[in-house]
């Protein structure tokens, strides 16, 4: 299955590994995964099988479970200071973390506005009790759930919200996350101004 989404993930993984651990481990990972090129292009589609090969190689070279790698990858996507676009685009989801969670349902459509050929599986959010949400992606590969956990945790830090996020065990495919929002204003969070920095100075 060749999907544009994997280009974004592979490029993010490349950025995460090479900035956090250095160029050598990344080279070892590519060799181990049997990939001949220097790296990945974020806007080119790649095969899912290649993504899993690179993921398993990363897990082996860094000596940490694949789930942990994926979660760290999700955090890196939001917190990477060299590329603030993902964090900023996610912050457009709302003024509070609860608003942001609601906007996650729109994420596949929002992604499609920017990249028309991207295929992101549908996401559903349900508030099962006050401050307790379940987020489900019935069609997603389980590995996407771990990336999402990393993203949602990093965004909670960004908003200054105190949350507990766990993956609910599932049979077969699909991802269900349980999100408990304990305090919306736990910490001050990071500032978000609508105007991108370049325009503000213009």
Between 130 and 159, how does the x/- string for binding to other proteins read (CB under 8 A)?
------------------------------
Does 41 interact with other proteins (rule: CB under 8 A)? yes
**Residue 2 Cβ vs other proteins, minimum distance, rounded to whole Å:** 18
Establish how many alpha carbons lie within 13 A of residue 40's alpha carbon, considering only the half-sphere containing its beta carbon.
Answer: 29
Instruction: Pull the structure tokens for residue 98.
Output: 């609860």
Residue (87 or 146) nearer to other proteins, CB? 87
- Told to check if 193 binds other proteins by CB under 8 A, we report yes
CA distance 167 to 149: 8
- Residue 19 in tokens: 């900035």
Interface with other proteins, residue 169, by CB under 8 A: no
The residue range among 47-55, 137-145, 163-171, 192-200 that interacts with other proteins, by the rule CB under 8 A, is 192-200
CA gap 66, 133 in Å, rounded:
26
Terminal-residue alpha carbon distance, the chain: 44
CB of 48 to other proteins, least distance (A): 21
Out of 52, 88, 119, 167, the only residue in the binding site for other proteins (CB under 8 A) is 88
Q: In angstroms, rounded to a whole number, what is the distance separating the alpha carbons of residues 38 and 202?
A: 37
Cβ 99 to other proteins shortest distance, Å: 9
Q: How far is the CB of 192 from other proteins (least distance, A)?
A: 8
Task: Give me 145's structure tokens.
Answer: 């759930």
Count Cα atoms within 13 angstroms, Cβ side, for 92. 12
Of 10 and 165, the one with the shorter C-beta distance to other proteins is 10
* Strands of the 175-183 sheet, one edge to the other: 124-129, 132-137, 175-183, 162-167
Judged by CB, which is closer to other proteins: 12, or 149? 12
- The footprint of other proteins (CB under 8 A) covers 41-44, 85, 88-89, 92, 94-95, 110, 113-115, 193-196, 199-200, 202
């Amino acid at each position: 299955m060749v999907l544009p989404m994997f280009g974004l993930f592979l490029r993010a993984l490349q950025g995460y590994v090479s900035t956090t651990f250095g160029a050598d481990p990344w080279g070892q990972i590519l060799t181990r995964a049997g990939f001949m090129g220097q790296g990945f292009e974020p806007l080119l589609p790649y095969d899912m099988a290649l993504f899993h090969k690179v993921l398993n190689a990363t897990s082996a070279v860094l000596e940490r479970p694949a789930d942990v790698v994926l979660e760290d990858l999700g955090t890196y996507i939001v917190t990477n200071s060299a590329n603030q676009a993902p964090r900023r685009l996610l912050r457009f989801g709302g003024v509070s973390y609860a608003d942001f969670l609601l906007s996650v349902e729109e994420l596949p459509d929002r992604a499609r506005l920017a990249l028309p050929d991207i295929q992101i599986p549908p996401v559903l959010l349900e508030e099962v009790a006050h401050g307790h949400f379940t987020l489900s992606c019935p069609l997603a590969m389980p590995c996407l759930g771990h990336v999402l956990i990393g993203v949602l945790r990093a965004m909670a830090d960004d908003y200054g919200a105190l949350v507990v996020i766990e993956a609910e065990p599932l049979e077969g495919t699909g991802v269900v996350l349980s999100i408990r929002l304990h305090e919306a204003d736990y910490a001050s969070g990071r500032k978000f101004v609508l105007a991108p920095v370049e325009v503000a100075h213009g």
